[in-house]
Amino acid sequence: MLHELSIRNFAIIDQVRLTFAPGLNVFTGETGAGKSIIIDAVSALLGGRLSGDTVIRTGAERAVIEGIFALSPRDAALIRPALEELGLDDGGDELILSRELNRSGRNVCRVNGRAVTVAVLEELGQKLIDIHGQGEHLSLLRVREHLGYLDRYAGLTEERARLAETVGELRRVRQALQDCLRDERELARRMDLLQFQVGEIEAARLDPAEEEQLLQQRTLLANAERLMELANSGYTLLNGGEPQRRAVLDLLGAAVHDLAQLEKLDPAVAPHRQAVEDALYQLEDVARALRVYRDGIEYNPARLEQVEERLSLIQSLKRKYGETVAEVLRFGENARAELEAISHNEERLAALREQEEALLGRAGEQAARLSAARKEAAALLERAVEAQLAELKMEGARFVVAIERAEDPAGPEIDGKRWALDGTGIDRVEFLIAPNVGEPPKPLARIASGGEASRLMLALKSVLSQADSVPTLIFDEIDAGISGRVGTLVGRRLWNLARDHQVLCVTHLPQIASLGDCHMCVSKSVVNERSVTQVRPLSDGERVHELAGLLGGNNTGASVLNAEELLAQGREWKQNRVPAGVKSAAQE
């Protein structure tokens, strides 16, 4: 539910912070005080389209609206999947939405402190609040939602989920069928290509480690003369010697001899003699290794050519099939698997057609049962809504749940025809209304606005309250065009509705205001030659005076007594209310 709302520099609101209660929250105040501005601010918070220049308070550069929502387990189950998908879920039991409107036209929207687009704010807002009076937020006006309402009202959620699972499996099988039924000439061309690719890769007999070894071989073969020259030079310096220069090993041997003589005279030289002697032995090993290495070098142009050809083949395959030899081999495996699948295409086609027929039959049975249950529930829903409308003094109104189907040759056969099928079934549902006798039913979005529309929405919300998952409902001036007697009925409907939802209501009728669980007064005053809207919760005593004013009195004895009586009647009715879900006109 909406726990707290903060509004700053919005229209004639300087700064307001409101704390709401569960149940029925009512707003009263003089016309023009700013009651509907509060609703407009909520609409803006939910991503409503508006111009910053028209709503930002004169003299301010920006308007800021922030809402804190307390998430019950039911609310969390509704909103958390969307938050997780958007990466905005912090796991807490509060959700904070904010929107900043700037004169430049720039919007800054945030969810739990993270910047988002207006579209994201709107998507989340539709799951949190329904505003009657701002059609874009009222879920009952969105035809795509009507089928879900009917299914939840009828308790068909599980059956619908089972059908959706079957339809999903059917779609996967049909997609596989389409893949198998591609043009035969295309398949033939594909087979030729795959056979060539598989043959080319297999003929190469590639080894993932081969390329590195070949590159090393090529380096050695291409530089054989230079390798031999360098190895021979090193060996000669160590062991061969030259006429003008003695070999390193000869010099070290002489040094060892001299140090041995020195050691006889001074034993302290022994470690140095040993170090030189060790170096001599190590260099003798190096000299022998260089000689073997030099003698083993082979200048082989034919082998070099073979290595170059092999590397060229590997490079050619990599250009076609992958950046590495491993990727080339993996490409070959995939091509071989696809070739195998195409080769067995007829067998697979027969198996898929059999699967499709079985799944289509099962989906048809599930959809038929679901459709029959919907028709029964639709009749009950029609009667329930019309009964609610009659109690709200709209006796002649007709409410219709229109259920239609569209033919589709690819759909399941039901009642001798094939119908279009999706994850929701074969039915297309829309709620229609004929407010006046003799008029044909029309879509909800096309009914007249005002008290008539408000009462219709209230009747629908009352009947569908358990099926309606939106936690907070807002009715802006639901009492437009209705009398005080009807106002009492409307107020009681709102209070009953508030047992399953949080309800915010802007009203001018004391009969509705007297039933509020939280009563806020909206007033306008002039501060420093500027109009300022103020909102404050009323105590029990203040409510009496506010209701007396709404009754048309000037807080005289009679109007105060009437106000006190209204509040007392409201409290008594609440205490004696019928159990949730039971509607009784006699008790009302």
Q: pLDDT value at position 488?
A: 85
Averaged pLDDT for residues 448-461: 67
SS3 call for 87? coil
The pLDDT of residue 585 is above 60: no
Full-model pTM: 0.58
Instruction: Tell me what percent of the residues of the chain surpass a pLDDT of 70.
Output: 91
Q: What is the pLDDT of residues 477-491, one digit of tens each?
A: 777 666 667 788 888
Q: pLDDT value at position 467?
A: 67
Q: pLDDT value at position 17?
A: 92
The pLDDT of residue 420 is above 80: yes
Q: What is the pLDDT of residues 133-151, one digit of tens each?
A: 544 446 667 788 889 889 9
**Selection from 298-307, 365-374, 390-399, 574-583 with the highest mean pLDDT:** 365-374
Rounded-to-integer distance, Cα 524 and Cα 508, Å: 16
Q: What is the pLDDT of residues 491-521, one digit of tens each?
A: 888 898 888 889 999 888 899 999 999 999 9
Q: pLDDT value at position 67?
A: 93
Q: Encode 390-412: b = buried (16+ Cβ within 10 Å), e = exposed.
A: ebbebeebbbbbebebeeeeebb
Indicate the angle between helix axes 270-296 and 248-265, nearest 10 degrees. 160
Whether the Cβ atoms of residue 110 and residue 123 lie closer than 8 Å to each other = no
Rounded-to-integer distance, Cα 359 and Cα 476, Å: 49
Tell me the pLDDT band of 365, cut-offs 50, 70 and 90.
very high
The pLDDT of residue 127 is above 90: no
The pLDDT of residue 398 is above 70: yes
Rounded-to-integer distance, Cα 498 and Cα 89, Å: 27
The pLDDT of residue 5 is above 90: yes
Q: What is the pLDDT of residues 64-119, one digit of tens each?
A: 999 999 988 888 888 888 888 888 888 788 899 999 998 888 889 999 888 999 88
Rounded-to-integer distance, Cα 260 and Cα 272, Å: 10
Distances (CA, A) of 95 to 2, 111, 335, 388: 9, 7, 51, 34
Averaged pLDDT for residues 537-548: 90
Q: What is the pLDDT of residues 193-236, one digit of tens each?
A: 999 999 999 898 988 888 888 888 888 787 888 888 888 888 88
Tell me the pLDDT band of 163, cut-offs 50, 70 and 90.
very high
The pLDDT of residue 191 is above 80: yes
Q: pLDDT value at position 181?
A: 75
Q: pLDDT value at position 582?
A: 41
> Would the CA dihedral through 175, 181, 186, 189 be positive or negative?
positive
Q: pLDDT value at position 452?
A: 65
Domain ranges of the chain: 210-323
The larger pLDDT score, comparing residue 97 to residue 439, is at: 97
Q: pLDDT value at position 554?
A: 67
- Helical spans, DSSP H, in 266-399: 270-296, 301-321, 325-343, 345-391
Q: What is the dihedral of CA 554, 559, 564, 565, to 10 degrees?
A: -160
Tell me the pLDDT band of 418, cut-offs 50, 70 and 90.
very high
Q: Residue 511, CB half-sphere, CA atoms under 13 Å: how many?
A: 14
Residue keyed to tokens 């080769």: 343
Q: Encode 283-318: b = buried (16+ Cβ within 10 Å), e = exposed.
A: beeebeebbebbeebeeeeeebeebeebbeebeebb
**What is the DSSP track for 246-286?**
--HHHHHHHHHHHHHHHHHH-GGGHHHHHHHHHHHHHHHHH
Write the Ramachandran bin of 518: left for phi over 0, alpha for psi from -120 to 50, otherwise beta: beta
Write the Ramachandran bin of 81: left for phi over 0, alpha for psi from -120 to 50, otherwise beta: alpha
Whether the Cβ atoms of residue 444 and residue 456 lie closer than 8 Å to each other = yes
Whether the Cβ atoms of residue 412 and residue 367 lie closer than 8 Å to each other = yes
User: What is the DSSP code (8-state) at residue 89?
Assistant: -
The larger pLDDT score, comparing residue 464 to residue 3, is at: 3
Whether the Cβ atoms of residue 85 and residue 126 lie closer than 8 Å to each other = no
Tell me the pLDDT band of 583, cut-offs 50, 70 and 90.
very low
Whether the Cβ atoms of residue 98 and residue 64 lie closer than 8 Å to each other = yes
The pLDDT of residue 412 is above 80: yes
Averaged pLDDT for residues 30-56: 82
Averaged pLDDT for residues 371-393: 90
Averaged pLDDT for residues 274-286: 90
Among 315-329, 427-441, 549-563, the least confident range: 549-563
Q: pLDDT value at position 587?
A: 37
The three-state (H, E, C) secondary structure of 101-124, written as one string: EECCCCEEEEECCEEECHHHHHHH
The pLDDT of residue 451 is above 60: no
Instruction: Tell me what percent of the residues of the chain surpass a pLDDT of 90.
Output: 26
Averaged pLDDT for residues 344-358: 85
> Would the CA dihedral through 535, 541, 543, 545 be positive or negative?
negative
SS3 call for 427? coil
Q: pLDDT value at position 454?
A: 66
Whether the Cβ atoms of residue 355 and residue 173 lie closer than 8 Å to each other = yes
Tell me the pLDDT band of 184, cut-offs 50, 70 and 90.
low
What mean pLDDT, rounded, does the chain reach? Answer: 85
Q: pLDDT value at position 137?
A: 45
User: What is the DSSP code (8-state) at residue 485?
Assistant: H
Q: pLDDT value at position 247?
A: 84
